[in-house]
């Protein structure tokens, strides 16, 4: 009788383990589909960035962004500040990030005040990106490889009237800026509506939200995105005014040389 009981318990434990594995696998697939739901050779945007301080005052910037995968499928993004009202010396700043599957992404920045390109060290990843609520790590997190995190479905619930999976993603690398990310992903269209970001102590420090979606060239695209820093009471909202998929972007744009000259 005892042997049979032990056998039944073992089967039950194996069943629980199998269910947990299936949930983890399903969660990773959902996150991967969300991050790769827009199929485009290139993406070009012009956006208005509104930075809101704790006292309610705002600063406005106009930015251009260029995205294109490299020959090995690595994500590459250039951000260029075309105009800045506060502070004005941000105008002309250019930033490049190139995905590195073997470790931290390669990143460079050109600051007009310095007049030269500077490489961003991995230790600077959590620092503010040009005075915004985004960190250098945040800039490339949308294209973060799914395999770098462990994913699990916490629950299913509605968000903005849409049935969503709520998925927790925990970085495998202890050196990553966040201890975990909780995401609300639409069950129907895989849109990631909200991401809560937690620091090393487990405190909820930032929230990224998609506030507006529009159909562009047959793709459901985020047109208004907001990053809020809860600990500081500040936020950065990005309003996309122009968006083009599959345009021609010269390879030379994704080089430190372009950051310095602004010419392909």
pLDDT digits (tens, 9 = 90+) for 21-78: 445 559 999 999 999 999 999 999 999 999 999 999 999 999 999 999 998 888 899 9
Provide the token pair at 249.
């972007």
Out of 12-16, 107-111, 119-123, least confident range: 12-16
pLDDT category of residue 97 using cuts at 50, 70 and 90: very high
Question: What three-state secondary structure class fits 206?
Answer: strand
What is the model's pTM? Answer: 0.86
Residue 23 is predicted with a pLDDT of 54
């Amino acid at each position: 009788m005892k042997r049979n009981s032990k056998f039944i318990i073992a089967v039950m434990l194996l069943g629980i383990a199998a269910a947990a594995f299936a949930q983890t696998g399903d969660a990773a697939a959902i996150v991967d589909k969300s991050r790769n739901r827009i199929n485009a050779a290139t993406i070009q945007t012009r956006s208005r960035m509104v930075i809101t301080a704790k006292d309610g005052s705002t600063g406005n910037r106009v930015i251009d962004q260029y995205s294109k995968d490299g020959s090995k499928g690595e994500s590459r993004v250039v951000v260029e500040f075309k105009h800045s009202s506060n502070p004005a010396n941000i105008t002309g700043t250019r930033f490049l990030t190139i995905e590195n599957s073997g470790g931290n992404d390669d990143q460079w920045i050109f600051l007009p005040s310095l007049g030269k390109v500077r490489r961003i060290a991995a230790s600077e990843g959590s620092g503010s990106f040009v005075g915004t609520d985004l960190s250098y790590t945040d800039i490339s997190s949308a294209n973060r490889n799914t395999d770098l995190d462990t994913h699990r479905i916490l629950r299913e619930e509605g968000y903005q009237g849409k049935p969503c999976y709520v998925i927790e993603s925990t970085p495998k690398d202890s050196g990553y800026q966040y201890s975990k990310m909780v995401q609300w992903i639409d069950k129907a269209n895989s849109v990631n509506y909200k991401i809560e970001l937690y620091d090393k102590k487990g405190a909820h420090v930032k929230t990224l939200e998609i506030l507006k979606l529009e159909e562009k060239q047959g793709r459901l695209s985020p047109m208004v995105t907001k990053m809020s820093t809860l600990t500081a009471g500040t936020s950065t909202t990005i309003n996309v005014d122009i968006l083009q998929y599959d345009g021609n972007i010269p390879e030379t744009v994704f080089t430190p040389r372009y950051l310095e000259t602004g010419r392909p």
